[in-house]
Chain A
Amino acid sequence: SQQGEEDPQALSIQEGENATMNCSYKTSINNLQWYRQNSGRGLVHLILIRSNEREKHSGRLRVTLDTSKKSSSLLITASRAADTASYFCATDGTGANSKLTFGKGITLSVRP
């Protein structure tokens, strides 16, 4: 089963613009992670935010987490054509038997 629901499902922007992607989830989490996947390739881990954190930055990435609303957002600033990819949020549950559950994903196209 899938935990996260990202929106929008597809996003097309001009190079240099910011891209904001949202993710909602349903159950309690230990942390939430964002991944990138280029077409037909493996996953690249972007950033992790723990349940007791509200915001994190990494380079051009900014992620927020609102546990009361069970939602997260990923902001990519000053986008580049190379940012074109699919982006997934994934939630890690609590407990020893936790597992990573992925959302449906967002396809980002950055036009040069």
Chain B
Amino acid sequence: GAVVSQHPSWVICKSGTSVKIECRSLDFQATTMFWYRQFPKQSLMLMATSNEGSKATYEQGVEKDKFLINHASLTLSTLTVTSAHPEDSSFYICSVRGQGHYGYTFGSGTRLTVV
């Protein structure tokens, strides 16, 4: 399957600032990537589907102006949490849909803490 690199693995930011999380497909041209959010002791909730060269598709209830997704190349999708607040503190995980038996490869996740 694909090799997916997610960066940073953890970040602490002040309330009101913006944070960018990168998801790279290292060995596979990914036309579709996914962004999930996971609050403590909860499951992964799909936030949006990131499509290369077009606008992301957001799940119901996810604010597209707050969670900006850019998928400008076949190897990189970024998620920017704008004007972050403590309630945005969460574990964010990206996923690439592509080759391999399982069909999906996940990044290692980013722990965001907003103080």
Interfacial residues, chain A to chain B (CB-CB below 8 A): 1-2, 31, 33, 40-43, 45, 48, 88, 92, 97, 99-105, 107
What residues of chain A lie closer than 8 Å to B45, measured between beta carbons? 2, 102
B44 touches A88 (CB 8 A): yes
Which of A33, A45, A100 is within 8 Å of B34, CB to CB?
A100
29 A-B residue contacts at CB 8 Å?
A1-B59, A1-B60, A2-B43, A2-B45, A33-B104, A40-B91, A41-B108, A41-B109, A42-B107, A42-B109, A43-B93, A45-B102, A45-B106, A48-B102, A88-B43, A88-B44, A97-B49, A99-B49, A100-B34, A100-B95, A100-B104, A101-B46, A102-B36, A102-B43, A102-B45, A102-B46, A103-B43, A105-B42, A107-B41
What residues of chain B lie closer than 8 Å to A97, measured between beta carbons? 49
Q: Does chain A have a CB within 8 A of B111? A: yes
Chain B, interface size category, equals 20 to 34
What residues of chain A lie closer than 8 Å to B111, measured between beta carbons? 40
Number of A-B residue pairs, CB cutoff 8 Å, is 50
What residues of chain A lie closer than 8 Å to B41, measured between beta carbons? 107
Bound-state CA distance A101–B43 (Å) is 10
A108 to chain B, nearest CB (A): 14
Given contact pairs A40-B91, A42-B108, A103-B43, enumerate 19 new A-B contacts (beta carbons under 8 Å): A2-B43, A31-B103, A33-B104, A42-B93, A43-B93, A43-B106, A48-B102, A48-B103, A92-B104, A97-B49, A99-B34, A99-B97, A100-B46, A100-B95, A100-B104, A102-B36, A102-B45, A104-B42, A107-B41
